[in-house]
Structure 1
Amino acid sequence: MIIYTPPAVAKDIPVIDLRDSFSHDIEKRKSVAWEIHKAARQTGFFYIKNHGIPVEVQQAQFDVAKEYFDSPLEEKMLINSKKSACLRGYEPIAAQTLDEGSPPDLKEGFLLGRELNESHPHVIRKTPYHGPNQWPENNPRFRQQTEDYMRHMELLGRKIVRLLALSLQLPEDFFDEGLKEPMIISRMLHYPCQPETARENQLGAGAHTDWGLITLLLQDEVGGLEVRNADGEWLKAPFIENTFVVNLGDMVPVLTNGLYHSTMHRVLNTSKEKARYSLPTFFDLDYYYEASVVPTLREEGKSYPAPITVGGHIAAMFDKTFGVEKASA
């Protein structure tokens, strides 16, 4: 358990302008990648602006999330994620415990992924967390808007992964083999106002690192995200209009031999009047992609840890935090 102490004001979470990442000039793309390199070595967290995701798409996704979470509990429970073989659907309040040893998290959510039918190779292979989504009945807008949002998130995720490759002085397409069938999990999260009766150290989301490659977070103006820096200080990561927060997951230190950081973070809704909503998208390489130290960070004659599969690690963390039996990889 990581005991909660109040955070300081953020002072070293940079805002990176992605405008030049859309340029045909490779040197301009490399200049953006260098900013990511610096942020990845310092905090593992950064904001991005000029990312290409229309404001109206962002707002529409918040609208459908709020509408869904406002629906009666009995309706939401009809598509409880526990009814899904690939963990898709509604997550009730306190379904997950991110900080081991702390009480369950004070949030409810909705989990979605790439819509894969029974003929997809990963579904045939029974790959964990791959398959069809559960969708609310009688709400076609929810599905239409969410699938549109996820298409935008896939494009943005692919761009960040290519910039990540450039930041490590690798070819831009170095990770493309793992992008043929990426794992993309999007969540809608609702954090009610923190109740006075909350148990000791019970937060909206307990202190944790993310498990995969990168997370693309759209948060609302209520805020509540807190990040721990290299000195162990907790910093607020406030809402900045028309930006996404990007953070690196546990696969990145594996790929970089610890050069880049996967940073501890947590959420506490301190508002007495407003619920907090956030839209994280977890963008990862193929479930079966073997992660190991990249060539540019290897020294001749030195031994390195054996490769690990992306999905094996993520499956273990899902099982741990949701309290379910371990899935087979």
Structure 2
Amino acid sequence: MVETSATLNTRSTDVSKLDYYDIPVIDWELSVTDKPLFLRQLRDAMINIGFLYLANHPVPKEAIARVKEMAPKFFELSQKTKDELDMKNSMHFHGYLKVSGATLSNDASVREQFNFGGARVCSWKEGEPEYLKLHGEALWPPEQELPGFRDTMLTYYDHVEDLSYRFTRLVSEALGLGPDALDVFFDQDHGNLQPRCKILRYPGTPDGSPGSGIAAHVDGSFLTYLLQATDHRTLEVKNLSGEWIPVPPIENTFVINLGKTLEKATRRVLPATPHRVLSPIGDPRFSVAFFSSIGHEVRIAEHYLPFPQEVLDMKYARDKKLGVDSHFEFSEKDMDLAGEVVLARKLRSHADVTERFYPNLFSKYYPNGRPAKPNTGRNLMSKGTGVAEA
């Protein structure tokens, strides 16, 4: 079903109460036609929910349509070609991954994915920080095997990356800060950042009953921009009452959610909300996730954002509803460079890459040698909710 702007505005006008059973739809066009209303809706969605649909966004519809057409074709490549593009062959942690209960030690999630970033050049030289290896070109299938795939994905990536910086400025304003207040978390030259993108394929369950495409987790990113490329209703979010509610696809929208990095940067004014994906019944589910990042030279705990009392009061009311302490303290690693934190998270998740491209760090993260079942894609937190690696 295609929703009109009038329908979207009706759904998103009311400010939510301190719980929710659907995700608000916010119209990008309001940021031009009625910016105060847009900012109020955005502030409410960000503080109380951590998830929203962004409708009528500026990413061209033809770029979206091309991605939806091309994304499934990657997984139709021969297994030999996909294996040649396996992440274990990339020091930048780009490439193909196949995740199943047989390869995971922490859950029974099942999915295939292809990870890539922008057209960045690796600048790392011997003796420089290892986290500089994170930047670099992705592993792309040969052009003759999948014509137009690389150009399609990089065009889409560039559009969403541009949207991410524009949207972040609006987030800053919605929090009662100046539009550039969050810029302290980004390099002045955005070319030194490399947000990540994943094309995900969740196969249908063989026995016709729902399974786990990816278990409950929060994203490790700053913000996540999700394109739901098929009609499956298998993405779910945990609301303030602890209930799982669906986030069904809505045409011409992105699902945007807050990551753990933004939660920390805002001292938990903005929450990283747990979510999960159920394995579909029937045809595979496809989605494309873009994870925005912060500068590698940033230390999150060094930056203080002066939120107005109105924003803090909204946070306190939410925390009271959740029964959690509103006091926030940075962890010790929040004083580390963000590049070191991101690299450590990836090294813990990918022993093959660590052993091959980061041999000096292998014994630190794998003192007992390579694990029999690698922790592919996420690390466990308390209470069984993971932090998904972007």
- Report the alpha carbon displacement of residue 118 of structure 1 after superposing the two structures with TM: 3.8
Q: Secondary structure at the match of 1:188?
A: strand
Match of 2:203 in 1: 192
1:225 equivalenced with 2:235 (yes/no):
yes
Distance across 1 between alignment mates of 2:128 and 2:102: 28
Gap change, CA 1:16 and 1:97, over 3 Å in 2: farther
Deviates more, 1:304-313 or 1:68-77: 304-313
Q: CA deviation at 1:165?
A: 1.1
Q: Does the 8 Å CA contact 1:128/1:315 hold for their aligned counterparts?
A: no
Higher mean Cα deviation, 144-153 or 251-260? 251-260
For the pair shown, which has the larger CA radius of gyration, 1 or 2?
Answer: 2
Residue 59 of structure 2 aligns to a residue whose secondary structure is coil
* 2:158 maps to 1:151: yes
Residue of structure 2 equivalent to 1:71? 77
Counterpart Cα distance in 1 of 2:198 and 2:122? 23
How far is the alpha carbon of 1:128 from its aligned partner? 4.2
1:54 maps to which residue?
60
Contact 2:211 2:280 in 1 (8 A): no
**Residue 196 to residue 274, structure 1, CA distance change in 2 (3 Å):** same
2:117 aligned with 1:113: yes
C-alpha contact (below 8 Å) 2:211/2:278 kept by paired residues: no
2:194 corresponds to 1:183? yes
The AA in structure 2 aligned to 1:168 is L
1:100-120, Cα deviation, whole Å (9 max, x unpaired) = 7322x2100100012222447
Trace 1:254-269 onto structure 2 (pairs within 5 A).
254-269=264-279
* CA distance 1:197–1:238, change in 2 (3 Å): closer
Deviation at 1:184, TM superposition (A): 0.8
Q: Give 1:52's aligned amino acid.
A: P
What are structure 2's unaligned runs of at least 5 residues? 1-19, 310-326, 362-390
Per-residue deviation, 1:64: 1.4
Please name the residue that 2:385 is paired with.
Answer: none
Distance 2:61 2:101 in 1: 31
Q: For this pair of structures, how many residues does the alignment match?
A: 308
Distance 1:58 1:262 in 2: 26
| 2-structure distance, mates of 1:152, 1:288 | 25
Distance 1:286 1:29, change over 3 A: farther
Given the superposition, is the C-alpha separation of residues 253 and 303 from structure 1 closer, same or farther in structure 2, using an over 3 Å criterion? Answer: closer
Q: Secondary structure at the match of 1:131?
A: coil
Q: Is 1:206 matched with 2:215?
A: yes
RMSD: 3.1
For residue 50 of structure 1, report the CA deviation from its aligned partner. Answer: 1.0
User: Contact 1:168–1:296 at 8 Å: present in 2 too?
Assistant: no
Unaligned runs of 5+ in 1: 1-9
User: SS state of the match for residue 232, structure 1?
Assistant: coil
Q: Percent identity?
A: 28
Q: Secondary structure at the match of 1:241?
A: coil
Higher helix proportion, which one? 2
Q: Which moved more, 1:156-165 or 1:315-324?
A: 315-324
Deviates more, 1:172-181 or 1:155-164: 172-181
1:50 partner letter: N
Q: Contact 1:212 / 1:310 at 8 angstroms: preserved in 2?
A: no
Counterpart of 1:133? 138
Q: 8 Å contact 2:110–2:202 — kept in the other structure?
A: yes
Task: Name the CA distance, whole Å, in 1 between partners of 2:102 and 2:172.
Answer: 32
Q: Which residue is equivalent to 1:318?
A: 346
**Match for residue 285 of structure 1 among 294, 299, 306:** 294
Q: What's the secondary structure of 1:268's corresponding residue?
A: strand
Structure 1 position 308, deviation (Å): 4.8
Alpha-carbon distance in structure 2 between the residues aligned to 1:72 and 1:303: 49
Paired residues of 2:203 and 2:280 also in contact (CA < 8 A): no
Q: TM-score, normalised by structure 2?
A: 0.71
Write the distance in 2 (CA, Å) between the matches of 1:310 and 1:32.
Answer: 31
Q: Which residue of 2 aligns with 1:170?
A: 177
Once the two structures are TM-superposed, the CA of residue 210 in structure 1 deviates from its matched residue by: 0.1
Q: Work out whether residues 211 and 317 of structure 1, in 8 Å CA contact, stay in contact via their aligned partners in 2.
A: no
Shift of residue 160, structure 1, vs aligned partner: 1.7
